[in-house]
Structure 1
Amino acid sequence: MGIGRFVYTPILPPMAEALGLSKGGAGLIASANFLGYLIGALLAGAPRLPGGRRRWMLGALVASAITTGAMGAVTSMSAFLLLRAAGGAASAFVLVLASALVLDRLAVAGRPGLSSVHFAGVGKGIAVSALVVAALQADGADWRTLWYVVGGVALAAAAAVAWLVPPAEAPRVAVSGPVAQARPGPGLPALVCAYGLFGFGYVITATFLVSIVRSSPVLRSVEPLVWLIVGLTAVPSVALWMRASLRFGIPLTFAIACVVEAIGVAASVLWPSAVGALLAAALLGGTFMGLTALGLAGARRLAPADPRPVLAVMTAAFGLGQIVGPALAGFLSERSGNFALASLLAAAALLVAAAVVLRVPRTSLL
């Protein structure tokens, strides 16, 4: 999922140069992916999916890989929009269904702390795709080849998932305490709102960071490193932020992570140097998957015994923020000539998210 959902960022600069894509067009393609993500999140939250959750998850992984590779076979804007929308829907199915499967199994095993290993997979996918793209570009590969190869890598990963995830699902246990309540607990609307603002706040930098770096002659030397750092810092981030939540509670930890990410988002445009770009990459990678895990873990604790509908609502709010971000950033950058205004709006949204999430009672997430 980390490959299919996020590899657009490092491939975008050579793709845009070869095809003459405008910033607005590039943002529209990204937003199509997130529109698909929103639709997929709503569908994945359906009470019953015929055929079982594992089958749908594996099908979504294959669909994500195929739509990723197929991006290299087309050149029209309509085809790009369709493929990225389908890939986005597949990504949402993977997140909702894989998280439900894994969290259920961990609950049965009494090892909920291992959820950080599950969410760290996205960072590993980003790091792998960054290395693959950098190596292919150094060898002179064009943008089409980049899509083909990373799509193949994602397909191989899907085969590994089919082998590693057991066909027999874990029983869905009702957890004692607040998680087992019949209705969502107090604070869920604030958590959903904060999660949506986080979706808007992170996505502009996550989509255009490599483009921002490539547009500056001073920063071109660190372009191969930027996306790799995002992936590498994302891998341990979930475990670190989840551990912090045990001490400070999910609302306060979520708020702190939003502030840290806001600093990174602002640094991407206010500190136009190699240090600023690398700091932005590290702070983005070090927070966005941690925030994702914190939000979903908090929602599950506020949810009834079946967490999938609430996880889907959270993912949908997140997806809505993602849809607005790239399209708005492309629109504003075409008029201003850079991503500064859009990035600062994103940083402000993250600060608002930090304030909103503090309205969630800590006692409801114990």
Structure 2
Amino acid sequence: MNSLFDKNNNVAILVAGIIAIVVGVGVARFAFTSLLPFMLEDFLSLTNAGIMASFNFAGYLSGAIFSIFIKDINTKVKYFRIGMVLSIITTLVLATTTNETLWIASRVIAGFGSAMVLIVGGALVMVKLNFEDKTKAMGIHFSGIGFAILISELISQYILKDGSWADAWLALAIFAFIISFYSVYILSFDKEIKQEAIKHKLSKSVFTPYVILLILAYFTEGVGFVVQGTFLPDIINSLKGLDGYGSIGWLMVGIAGIPSSIVFMRLAHNYGSVNIIILAMALQIVGILIPVLSTNIYLNLLSGALYGSTFIALVALFMHLGGRLAGNNPVVLMGSMTAAYGVGQVGAPLYSVALIEYFGDYNSTLYLTAFIVFVGILLLVYAKKIENKR
């Protein structure tokens, strides 16, 4: 048991990383999706929900780009802690107010906090882990996103049995506050670490046509991630005969997400990253289109499972591939990829809301999103052609 409180124990480091993701991504980001149907019934308009999702991703994008420039490991520890605090405070704002301006501001700040926890926290986990090959370990770390969705959803649903969505937010904030101490303790260093920062010249040569196509494909995945990531429970609830099943659909997202990055990273190792990215994006398209084509409960739960298993794996796959291609310049390429994904994330909720308001249902939004992800697949197929000719 003592080893779980040893800052240099690999298991403790991975557990602390997953707990951090539960706070920064589960509570501060995805609980909004699971509680959205209840807030829509009460006071929130769908348009404002879409705007809040977009602002949340804008906050995340700014944090992601900011995190690229934090070189010093001691500064990383500081910003990781700031991210944890922001994740908890912004959740409290949702629990205690219904002022939509405050909510929008809190979603932006929560987005920034999530980036500090996921990206800077992920970097701390990477530095602290003592493994020869850290790829598998990072697959385990990313499984935290599935746990984050599952745990925040279970807490929300438990509180909603007798309480309101505001009570659920409060419970999530208290839960996040309690568990955050462990992550903050483990993901730190006993003394200031003096690191000689190796300076690599910023090289444009990394941006080959192949890499540019990858970045554009990752932009389409940013779009593919958002629509279900924001509206999935409400999409399922809006289908004939499926009202109330949205929360089960969202549970499926979490359950399917837990093993996904580990499984897909293994497949990528055996069959090539780009091939497996194409497979995952094709499965995601099937998941996006199911609610348009069927009101069958099992198929729509499968839609949630396909979404959960692909979106987490795709982040891990693209980032791993980017890191490999970047060589000595991971920061520049990771930053460009994250920015492209982020632009997709910020734009998608806005066109979604416009189409939903205009047509009165989710169908046109889902068709357009599936089409954009399909364009991403075409870009990757073309990228493979270029690469094979070299």
Distance in 2 (CA, whole Å) between partners of 1:60 and 1:96 is 10
Matched, 1:109 2:132: yes
Matched, 1:162 2:208: no
Residues 172, 351 of structure 1: CA spacing in aligned structure 2 closer, same or farther, 3 A cutoff?
A: farther
2:20 is matched with which residue? none
1:145 is matched with which residue? 167
Instruction: Report the Cα offset of residue 47 of structure 1.
Output: 5.2
- Partner residue of 1:261 out of 266, 284, 293: 284
Q: What is the aligned-residue RMSD (CA, Å)? A: 2.6
Normalised by the length of structure 1, the TM-score is 0.90
2:66 is matched with which residue? 43
Instruction: Report the Cα offset of residue 41 of structure 1.
Output: 1.4
2:312 is matched with which residue? 289
**Structure 2 counterparts to residues 9-20 of structure 1, below 5 A:** 9-19=33-43
Instruction: Report the Cα offset of residue 126 of structure 1.
Output: 0.4
Instruction: Report the Cα offset of residue 182 of structure 1.
Output: 9.4
**Structure 2 counterparts to residues 90-239 of structure 1, below 5 A:** 90-106=113-129, 109-139=132-162, 141-167=163-189, 184=206, 186=208, 187-216=210-239, 218-239=241-262
Instruction: Report the Cα offset of residue 310 of structure 1.
Output: 2.8
1:104 touches 1:170 (CA, 8 Å); kept in 2? no
2:239 touches 2:291 (CA, 8 Å); kept in 1? no
Q: Which amino acid aligns with 1:159?
A: F
Matched, 1:69 2:81: no
Residue by residue, what CA displacement relative to the aligned partner does 1:136-188 show, whole Å, maximum 9, x if unpaired?
1112x1121111111222233322211232416797999xxxxxx99536432
Residue by residue, what CA displacement relative to the aligned partner does 1:90-134 show, whole Å, maximum 9, x if unpaired?
112222212323334458633322111110111101000111111
2:45 is matched with which residue? 22
Worse-matched range after superposition: 150-159 or 30-39: 150-159
1:69 touches 1:149 (CA, 8 Å); kept in 2? no
RCO higher in 1 or 2 (8 Å CA, sep ≥ 6)? 1
Q: Which amino acid aligns with 1:123?
A: G
1:96 touches 1:308 (CA, 8 Å); kept in 2? no
1:190 touches 1:360 (CA, 8 Å); kept in 2? yes
Normalised by the length of structure 2, the TM-score is 0.84
Q: Which amino acid aligns with 1:242?
A: M
Residues 80, 203 of structure 1: CA spacing in aligned structure 2 closer, same or farther, 3 A cutoff?
A: same
**Seq. identity, %:** 28
SS of equivalent to 1:272? coil
Distance in 2 (CA, whole Å) between partners of 1:315 and 1:155 is 28
1:69 touches 1:148 (CA, 8 Å); kept in 2? yes
Q: Which amino acid aligns with 2:41?
A: E
Instruction: Specify every segment of 5 or more residues in structure 2 that has no aligned partner in the other structure, as ranges.
Output: 1-23
Distance in 2 (CA, whole Å) between partners of 1:69 and 1:323 is 24
2:6 is matched with which residue? none
- Partner residue of 1:55 out of 67, 78, 86: 78
Residues 50, 240 of structure 1: CA spacing in aligned structure 2 closer, same or farther, 3 A cutoff?
A: closer
2:292 touches 2:366 (CA, 8 Å); kept in 1? yes
Residues 102, 190 of structure 1: CA spacing in aligned structure 2 closer, same or farther, 3 A cutoff?
A: farther
Distance in 2 (CA, whole Å) between partners of 1:65 and 1:327 is 26
1:36 touches 1:88 (CA, 8 Å); kept in 2? yes
2:267 touches 2:276 (CA, 8 Å); kept in 1? yes
Instruction: Report the Cα offset of residue 220 of structure 1.
Output: 2.2
SS of equivalent to 2:245? helix
